[in-house]
């Protein structure tokens, strides 16, 4: 046998010995860096501003980096072990490969069989100690599987053991691949979104003629907001000239379904996919139509607006996301947090650093957190005046979990309280209002300060009726009076009429004058934002905060 044939024979022999390790590494990396991100996207499409076409590049790049990197490490371990084995089996490399399979299979079971109890990623603090039973299950599986591997090493030839685990890995790959293809097709995951990206364009611009501003502060419950006002009377000075409606009933317990109500007056009854419903509601919005007729530019500072396809209205601060490319480093950083959250054992999930699936930082777009808005407002005190009229819808973090601020918007070392977060929201809103006053445009600006829903922890509260009573306040054009409370039973289904009256320069009292003092109102319940495909309708005849008195109408809406 010549030298070339000898080298070829050695190469084939080495490749044969390395193949099980390569197979395990391939399936492991496929599961974490292809299967998981694509599955996550497919089943949570509305949580992402981008579509599958934009994420395929970063996903495949992450897979290639980790597969090639792990293959190089395994190859190096094999070659070093082979050099010192002196013609014997490379046992160290083989044991490393078997341990790699152990880590892969335990991770596979953790992320695909034991992930059913994962808490919602809504920003709330998760009590990981409540999952100790899951840790016991994970530890038991790990020990049993390690025992099987030790048994194989002792009772079976290691080479055969590697073939067995490689075969199991191939079987797992087949399961993952078929599952992924099924989910991609079922969820129509490759559909293009043609979505809107809200930028900060004209955030510090204002009209010298007329302005209409809606500050929607997330998760500020009216009852808790009222308590903060009563315990801190100085806050009432912030809202001088405003009329506050404590008895306001929202329509939904979560943001996504509330936005089409607030901007389009449309109530989701699961008659079509939400993205189709929301896009239709915004395209047919009577409020937007009236704004355009009255000469207003429309600005929507909303980081996760679900409005796909063609748009009937021009949004001044939007840009076409098709021009974007997802930066790999930032995308992978966010993706890695979710992978750790899902595939780590429960005890170690707490170190994944994930609070929510937040991919908004991947592009230069509008950021909703209170500190950012406060800094923008205070560091840019002078507004640039523009001709024409301006409508601005500003969705802020408000009192949404996590409760990370004190009342002065300083970041806390420890977890704060809901009341502190409400006070921080008031400070941010106060700065926004004061900037309008300082620039001489306060009087010619309609200002609505509201919330989309109240607050409950989705991981501990089963009843979303608690969220039915959001904070709601109005100041009309040239409206001046002391802070006022009204007993009017407001429903968010009244908003289109209220907006229209305010566009005609009516005061808050005049805009709500036709609302009867006693009435039936509608609230739509679902378990949480992951279970919107089953909606239960309630009728409300009492106060909006008396959620134990809400009554089911008997009508339920399933997608």
Give the pLDDT of residue 509: 97
**pLDDT, tens digit (0-9, with 9 covering 90-100), for 291-349:** 999 999 999 999 888 998 889 999 998 876 666 778 888 888 888 988 999 999 888 88
Q: What's the rounded mean pLDDT across residues 458-476?
A: 84
Cα separation, 286 vs 303, whole angstroms: 22
**Angle at the Cα of 385 from the Cα atoms of 383 and 386, rounded to 5 degrees:** 140
Q: Residue 268: pLDDT above 60?
A: yes
Q: Which two tokens stand for residue 264?
A: 């389009």
Q: What's the rounded mean pLDDT across residues 211-226?
A: 97
**477 in Cβ contact with 445 (< 8 Å):** yes
Q: Using pLDDT thresholds of 50, 70 and 90, give the confidence band for residue 5.
A: low
Cα separation, 191 vs 137, whole angstroms: 39
Torsion angle defined by CA atoms of residues 219, 453, 315 and 51, in that order, rounded to the nearest 10 degrees: 80
Average pLDDT along the chain:
90
Parallel/antiparallel/unpaired status of strands 534-540 and 389-396: unpaired
Q: Say whether the peptide bond before residue 402 is cis (omega within 30 degrees of 0).
A: yes
Residue 374's CB is within 10 A of a number of other CB atoms, namely 22
Q: In sequence order, what are the residues at sequence separation of 6 or more whose Cβ sits closer than 8 angstroms to the Cβ of residue 216? A: 262, 393, 394, 395, 396, 398, 450, 451, 452
Cα separation, 537 vs 523, whole angstroms: 6
User: In this structure, is the dihedral angle defined by the CA atoms of residues 401, 406, 410 and 412, taken in order, positive or negative?
Assistant: negative
User: In this structure, is the dihedral angle defined by the CA atoms of residues 271, 277, 280 and 286, taken in order, positive or negative?
Assistant: positive
The CA R_g of the chain, rounded to the nearest whole Å, is 28
Q: Using pLDDT thresholds of 50, 70 and 90, give the confidence band for residue 515.
A: very high
**365 in Cβ contact with 303 (< 8 Å):** yes
**pLDDT, tens digit (0-9, with 9 covering 90-100), for 43-88:** 888 888 788 988 999 999 999 999 999 999 999 999 999 888 776 7
Give the pLDDT of residue 6: 54
**pLDDT, tens digit (0-9, with 9 covering 90-100), for 172-189:** 999 999 999 999 999 999
Q: Using pLDDT thresholds of 50, 70 and 90, give the confidence band for residue 462.
A: low
Domains of the chain and any CATH numbers: 12-186 (no CATH), 196-324+363-558 (3.40.720.10)
Nearest by Cα to 448 from 425, 472, 427: 472
CB-based burial label for 303 (10 Å; 0-12, 13-18, 19+): middle
More confident call, 352 vs 64: 64
473 beta partners:
244, 449
Phi/psi region, residue 14 (left: phi>0; alpha: psi -120 to 50; beta: rest), is alpha
**pLDDT, tens digit (0-9, with 9 covering 90-100), for 106-135:** 999 999 988 777 776 666 667 777 788 888
Q: In sequence order, what are the residues at sequence separation of 6 or more whose Cβ sits closer than 8 angstroms to the Cβ of residue 107? A: 28, 31, 32, 343
Parallel/antiparallel/unpaired status of strands 445-450 and 384-386: unpaired
Q: What's the rounded mean pLDDT across residues 520-525?
A: 97
Q: Residue 1: pLDDT above 60?
A: no
Cα separation, 96 vs 519, whole angstroms: 71
Give the pLDDT of residue 89: 80
Nearest by Cα to 217 from 427, 7, 471: 471
Q: How far is CA 338 from the centre of its chain?
A: 12
Q: Which two tokens stand for residue 312?
A: 């009937």
Task: Provide the total of helices (H) and of strands (E) in the chain, helices listed first.
Answer: 17, 16
**pLDDT, tens digit (0-9, with 9 covering 90-100), for 31-40:** 999 999 999 9
Q: Which two tokens stand for residue 439?
A: 């620039």
């Amino acid at each position: 046998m010549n030298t070339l044939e000898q080298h070829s024979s050695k190469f084939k022999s080495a490749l044969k010995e390395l193949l099980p390790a390569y197979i395990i590494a391939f399936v492991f990396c496929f599961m974490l860096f292809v299967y998981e991100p694509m599955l996550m996207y497919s089943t949570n499409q509305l949580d992402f501003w981008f579509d599958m076409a934009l994420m395929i590049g970063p996903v495949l790049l992450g897979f290639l980096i980790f597969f090639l990197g792990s293959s190089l490490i395994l190859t190096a371990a094999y070659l070093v072990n082979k050099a010192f084995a002196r013609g014997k089996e490379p046992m160290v490399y083989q044991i490393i490969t078997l341990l790699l399979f152990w880590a892969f299979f335990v991770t596979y079971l953790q992320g695909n069989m034991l992930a059913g109890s994962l808490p919602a990623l809504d920003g709330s603090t998760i009590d990981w100690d409540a999952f100790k039973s899951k840790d016991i299950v994970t530890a038991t599986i790990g020990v049993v599987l390690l025992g099987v591997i030790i048994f194989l090493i002792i009772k079976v030839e290691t080479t055969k053991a590697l073939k067995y685990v490689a075969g199991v890995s191939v079987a797992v790959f087949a399961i993952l691949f078929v599952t992924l293809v099924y989910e991609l097709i079922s969820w129509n995951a490759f559909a293009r979104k043609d979505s809107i990206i809200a930028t900060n364009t004209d955030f510090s611009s204002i009209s010298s003629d007329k302005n209409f501003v809606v500050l929607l502060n997330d998760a500020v419950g009216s009852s808790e907001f009222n308590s903060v006002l009563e315990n801190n009377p100085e806050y009432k000075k912030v809202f001088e000239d405003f009329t506050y409606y404590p008895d306001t009933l929202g329509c939904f317990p979560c943001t996504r379904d509330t936005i089409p109500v607030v901007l389009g007056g449309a109530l989701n009854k699961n008659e079509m996919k939400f993205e189709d419903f929301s896009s239709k509601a915004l395209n047919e919005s009577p409020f937007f139509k009236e704004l355009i007729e009255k000469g207003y530019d429309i600005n929507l500072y909303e980081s996760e607006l679900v409005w796909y396809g063609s748009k009937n209205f021009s949004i001044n601060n939007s840009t076409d996301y098709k021009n974007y490319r997802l930066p790999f480093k930032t995308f992978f950083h966010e993706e890695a947090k979710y992978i750790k959250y899902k595939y780590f054992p429960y005890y170690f999930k707490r170190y994944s650093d994930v609070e929510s699936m937040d991919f908004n930082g991947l592009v230069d777009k509008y950021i909703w957190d209170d500190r950012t808005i406060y800094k923008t407002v205070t560091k840019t005190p002078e507004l640039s005046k523009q001709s024409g009229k301006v409508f601005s819808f500003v969705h802020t973090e408000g009192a949404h979990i996590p409760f990370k601020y004190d009342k002065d918007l300083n970041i806390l070392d420890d977890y704060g309280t809901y009341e502190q977060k409400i006070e921080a929201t008031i400070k941010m809103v106060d700065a926004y209002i004061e900037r309008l006053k300082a620039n001489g445009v306060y009087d010619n600006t309609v200002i609505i300060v509201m919330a989309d829903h109240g607050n409950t922890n989705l991981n501990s509260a089963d009843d979303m009726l608690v969220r039915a009573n959001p904070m709601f306040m109005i100041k009309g054009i040239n409206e001046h009076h002391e802070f006022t409370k009204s007993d009017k039973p407001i429903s968010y289904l009244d908003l289109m009429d209220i907006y229209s009256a305010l566009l005609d320069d009516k005061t808050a009292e005049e805009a709500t004058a036709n609302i009867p003092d006693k009435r039936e109102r509608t609230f739509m319940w679902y378990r949480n934002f992951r279970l919107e495909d089953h909606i239960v309708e309630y009728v409300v005849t009492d106060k909006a905060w008396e959620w134990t008195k809400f009554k089911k109408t008997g009508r339920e809406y399933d997608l």
